[in-house]
Amino acid sequence: MNFASTRNLDHCIGLSQALALGLAPDGGLFVPSTLPSFQPSDFNADHTLAAVACRLLRPFFADDALSGQLDAICDEALDIPAPLTALKPEHTWMLELFHGPTAAFKDFGARFLAACLQRLHPPDQAPLTILVATSGDTGAAVAQAFHRKRNLRVVVLYPDGRVSPRQAHQLGCFGDNILTLRVAGNFDDCQRLAKQAFGDPHLHSRLSLSSANSISLGRLLPQMSYYAYASISHWRSRGGKLNFVIPTGNLGNALAAILARRCGLPIGDIALATNANRVLPDYFSGSAYQPTASLATLANAMDVGAPSNFERLRWLYPDEQALRGGFIAEAVEDASIREVIANGEARYGRMFCPHTACAVRVLERIRDRGDSRHWAVVATAHPAKFEQVVEPLVGHSVEVPAALAALLDRPSKAEPIGADFEPFRERLRKL
């Protein structure tokens, strides 16, 4: 299959090249030139997540140098449980995407991308440098996925003081081929620095730069697999489509669900749950698309004022009316996030991370409007990652999953850096 930039659909390149580039040279995002079409019966009943991914992604890898290695890539990267568990009341489910090594859904995409890039980058060439701006969880997932991978290195930029202490610890706990920079600014500053570096020809000639942000195809494609896996298992056991409510920031996770639905998987409605950053809810309720600076909220991994995957949504829906009519999109304020977390155990028998709490609240509103269909809340992180928010609200400590505990036991270190490009550029030149 070929891939083109959202800004020039006529010029196609192969998957390997698109994976290595990250962002298209014209500043657009890579999108597939065609989409395959599946039926639920194309997947075996006993398929694991890795096997579903393999079947689903095979057409995207067709004719590419990596196609012969797709099985191995899926087995290596997607060996993470993604259970669909029941919540109260009936017809309510939770797709648990927090069982990976850094306890957030980004492990799926980051590990898949790392497995691809390691196979693509020849060991005898200068190292490939992955630049990643993170509002919290991406950086840790990417650092974990690339840690000690030969001939690959990662530079993580995160907004100092705007991630939880445990997130900060995770971001700095790797060392070796991972450089962690804490930026005196917000997430948009981090993204701008990364973009400026990509646009700097001198840096490009010194370092082979690549990205691992949620714009990367290597993250987007594998994320489709858990939606496929969950919707097919729902289809088999209960018949009918599964609707999803998805905590949304840069639209990477939600876009994977939308793509999976377009490929014929039994997915019904998709609701986007944002925090107080309401650029998407405003757009879907009829305003012009108006990117802004991001607001700091309790669901910090979704503190996004300019969702980077929006261009892909526009590509999928060239008709603006169809796009605006195609989704529920609602914002959830911090006060509601707190309320959902505080009542989670009594109402649902669960603890939620602040991001997942946004989705829970949006589903509560959907239920209040009389919708009794099957909905799955997508749980994007483990509550133990955000203990400073969650523990005071639930009134007790949250048990830390073993993989996360292992990371928190390591020493951690991040270099401070300003939000201007020049010092960042100098730091990269010294790599």
Ligand X SMILES: *Cc1c(COP(=O)(O)O)cnc(C)c1O
Residues near ligand X (CB under 6 A) are: 104, 106, 137, 214, 247-254, 301-302, 353, 355, 380-381
Least distance in angstroms from the C-beta of 385 to ligand X: 7
Minimum Å gap between C-beta 249 and ligand X is 4
Question: String of b and e for 405-422 (b: at least 16 CB within 10 Å)?
Answer: eebeeeebebeebebeee
Query: CA-CA distance, 299 to 2, in Å (whole number)?
Result: 36
CA dist 135 and 157 (Å) reads 9
**Smallest distance, ligand X to C-beta of residue 310, A:** 11
Cis peptide before 89 (omega within 30 of 0): yes
Nearer to ligand X, 66 or 222 (CB): 222
Structure tokens at 378: 């997508």
Phi-psi label, residue 271: left if phi above 0, alpha if psi -120 to 50, beta otherwise: beta
Compute the least distance from the CB of residue 147 to ligand X, in Å. Answer: 18
Q: What minimum distance in Å lies between the beta carbon of 251 and ligand X?
A: 5
Write down the least CB distance from residue 48 to ligand X, Å.
24
Q: Which two tokens stand for residue 348?
A: 């649902």
Of 355 and 361, which has the nearer Cβ to ligand X?
355
Contact 147, 176 (CB under 8 A): yes
Q: Which residue from 225, 223, 230, 228 is spatially nearest to 94, judged by alpha carbons?
A: 230
CA atoms of 343 and 348, how far apart (whole Å): 8
For the CB of residue 222, give the shortest distance to ligand X in the complex, in Å.
Answer: 13
Q: Are strands 328-331 and 84-87 parallel, antiparallel or unpaired?
A: unpaired
Encoded tokens for 381? 């992180």
| CA 429, chain centre distance (Å) | 29
Which lies closer to ligand X via its Cβ, residue 138 or residue 233? 138
Pick 149 or 355: Cβ nearer ligand X: 355
Q: Which CB sits closer to ligand X, 179 or 353?
A: 353
Q: State which residue, 6 or 248, has the beta carbon closest to ligand X.
A: 248
**Closer Cβ to ligand X, 248 or 336, answer by number:** 248
